[in-house]
Amino acid sequence: MEYKTKGIYPEDALRYFEDLTRIPHGSGNEAGIAQYLLDFAKEHGLWAKTDDIHNVYMKKPGSKGMEELPAVLLQGHTDMVCAKTEDSAHDFEKDPLTLIVDNGLLHADRTTLGADNGVAVALMLAMLARDDFPHPPIECLFTTQEETGLCGAQAADLSCFSANRLINLDGGPEGMVVAGSAGGLRMDFDLSPAYEPASGKILEIKVCGLLGGHSGTMIDKEHGNANKLMGRVLHGLPCAWNLVTLSGGSKDNAIPQECTAVIALPEADAGAAVSAVQKLEADFQTELQGSDPGVCVRISPAEADRMMSRADSDTMMKLLFLLPCGVMTRNLALNAVTTSMNVGTIATNADGIHLVCSLRSSSATELAYLADRLRMLGALLGLRVSDGAGYPAWGYTPVSPLRDLCAEVYQEQTGKELQMAAIHGGLECGLFKEKRPELDIVSMGPEADGAHTPDETLDLASFGRFYDFLKGVLVRLTEK
């Protein structure tokens, strides 16, 4: 089997990573990865098991003379966000990813790479496979459906593990240890519209060309949200119109790059509508020139058999126009985001229109306040509002021997100080801390950019340095 990263250090971990990219593993489709992991464990004589949600649990004894040392638990998730460019024909249900090595970066051909969080899986397998360095007992937890609500972490049974130290490998960037993360909540809005026969001119309006990004770690970059911009487009139409379909975004935890609305309007008003859309496109290009220079609004003829009532069309426009989005509050002392919201996905199906928002906060009270605002808005508009999956924040712990040990190893290897931060992204660590309060947890990872977008990359040199760092931490754990 040919590997794109052959000859690049660390070849063993990169080989495992490439194996993962050949197995479709979008959220909810992790059975193939689970079987791969179980086969790996059998090949290497390791204890392993899985559960109903395809989490995989694995253990390796300590190296000779280290068998009785306290264990360490390594953890990462096996699912990836499946996103691709408009011109990509990739099928995430069956196709392997096409990998490209370019100028020291690994990326996929017009799709997400899955470095989030395939790097964790690859690193764990590489450490488990090696027998040439001293290490304590290593326990590994491979969780599923992290990207769609941390479902695997919520279902995980930690009773088979003895470790009271956990290294989550879904952090980063290189040189930083994450010591806290935001909690979150998904909220759903539903409308069952009344329909009538379509009439007049049918137009498709598409907001596109936005950069998107992770709705937690990149929310402070102020990238445009295609769904919110569509609300402004529909609000700005200078005539009566009816909605046919509305769709936007790929994942609730990714800032949407595109949103498409098909509308019906009187033939006589089509010219004015086109002019209004063109004016709004120019406005967006001015407003977003620093964050999304490629933003555009396309308008083209379309066809339709039916359209939603004027009242229901107006309701959806008002929802998009009024929903809060982006950074809500900041912690000025830490110069960090406290609370944010992402208007993530919109879909039109046989049951009506379904919209999903992702709320994040490191403050439980601010998260509850934001959720109450959304419930009130939904009630005022006559929409059904429901809470989806939620997860707790991982609070900062001032005293952490594991964090101190990691800092020592990093200082010795690089001569630099390991930076510490709490992040606005959601991590599984909060759930593990809730299950086992005694856990001493850190989160780390190599340099990888563009998570949740087709621009996702893995810095190969950074991956190699982080591989050595993780190995160094495992060795140091035999000395403490």
CA–CA dist 406, 401 (Å, integer)? 9
Residue 345, in any domain of the structure: yes
Q: How confident is the model at residue 112 (pLDDT cuts 50, 70, 90)?
A: very high
Residue 248 near residue 258 (C-beta atoms within 8 A)? yes
Q: Do residue 403 and residue 375 come from a single domain?
A: no
**Percent above pLDDT 90 for the chain:** 91
Nearest Cα neighbor of 174 from 474, 462, 480 is: 462
The pLDDT of residue 94 is 97
Nearest Cα neighbor of 245 from 90, 103, 350 is: 350
The pLDDT of residue 453 is 87
The pLDDT of residue 86 is 86
Buried-state track 208-219, b at ≥16 Cβ within 10 A, e below 16: bbbbbbbbbbbb
The pLDDT of residue 284 is 98
Q: Do residue 173 and residue 250 come from a single domain?
A: no
| Average pLDDT of the segment spanning 252-276 | 96
Q: Do residue 383 and residue 419 come from a single domain?
A: no
Instruction: Enumerate the active-site residues.
Output: 79, 146
Q: Do residue 95 and residue 129 come from a single domain?
A: yes
Which among 375, 391, 407 is the end of a domain? 391
**Percent above pLDDT 70 for the chain:** 100
DSSP H/E element including 14: helix 11-21
Q: How confident is the model at residue 336 (pLDDT cuts 50, 70, 90)?
A: confident
The pLDDT of residue 149 is 83
The pLDDT of residue 425 is 86
CATH code for the domain in which residue 451 is found: 3.40.630.10
Least confident of 21-30, 199-208, 393-402: 393-402
Residue 218, in any domain of the structure: yes
Which among 345, 365, 391 is the end of a domain? 391
| Average pLDDT of the segment spanning 257-264 | 98
Q: Which residue(s) pair with 206 in the sheet?
A: 260, 298
Q: Do residue 169 and residue 317 come from a single domain?
A: no
Average pLDDT, the chain: 96
Residues in the chain: 480
Q: Is 311 helix (H, G, I), strand (E, B) or coil?
A: helix
The pLDDT of residue 422 is 86
Q: Do residue 328 and residue 341 come from a single domain?
A: yes
Is the predicted pLDDT of residue 103 greater than 90, yes or no?
Answer: yes
What is the domain range of residue 399?
A: 11-182+394-476
Interval 430-471: pLDDT, tens: 999 999 999 999 999 999 999 888 999 999 999 999 999 999
| Average pLDDT of the segment spanning 391-398 | 90
Q: Do residue 340 and residue 273 come from a single domain?
A: yes
Residue 361 near residue 339 (C-beta atoms within 8 A)? yes
Is the predicted pLDDT of residue 396 greater than 90, yes or no?
Answer: no
Residue 190 near residue 368 (C-beta atoms within 8 A)? no
| Average pLDDT of the segment spanning 236-257 | 95
Nearest Cα neighbor of 312 from 377, 247, 243, 264 is: 243
pTM higher than 0.85: no
In degrees rounded to 5, what are phi and psi of residue 170? Answer: -110, 25
Interval 23-80: pLDDT, tens: 999 999 999 999 999 999 999 999 999 999 999 999 999 999 999 999 999 999 999 9
Residue 4, in any domain of the structure: no
Would residue 409 be called left, alpha or beta, if left means φ above 0 and alpha means ψ between -120 and 50 degrees?
alpha
Which among 340, 361, 391 is the end of a domain? 391
Interval 343-374: pLDDT, tens: 999 999 998 999 999 999 999 899 999 999 99
The total number of structural domains that make up the chain: 2
Residue 271, in any domain of the structure: yes
Interval 220-230: pLDDT, tens: 999 999 999 99
Interval 5-17: pLDDT, tens: 999 999 999 999 9
The pLDDT of residue 463 is 99
CATH code for the domain in which residue 211 is found: 3.30.70.360
Q: Do residue 155 and residue 97 come from a single domain?
A: yes
| 163 burial via Cβ count (<10 Å: 0-12, 13-18, 19+) | buried
Q: Do residue 224 and residue 99 come from a single domain?
A: no
Residue 5, in any domain of the structure: no
CA–CA dist 337, 104 (Å, integer)? 31
Residue 1, in any domain of the structure: no
Residue 3, in any domain of the structure: no
Residue 2, in any domain of the structure: no
Q: Do residue 323 and residue 294 come from a single domain?
A: yes
Interval 297-313: pLDDT, tens: 999 999 999 999 999 99
Q: Do residue 123 and residue 208 come from a single domain?
A: no
The pLDDT of residue 251 is 86
Q: Do residue 326 and residue 291 come from a single domain?
A: yes
The pLDDT of residue 335 is 82
Nearest Cα neighbor of 225 from 183, 284, 167 is: 284
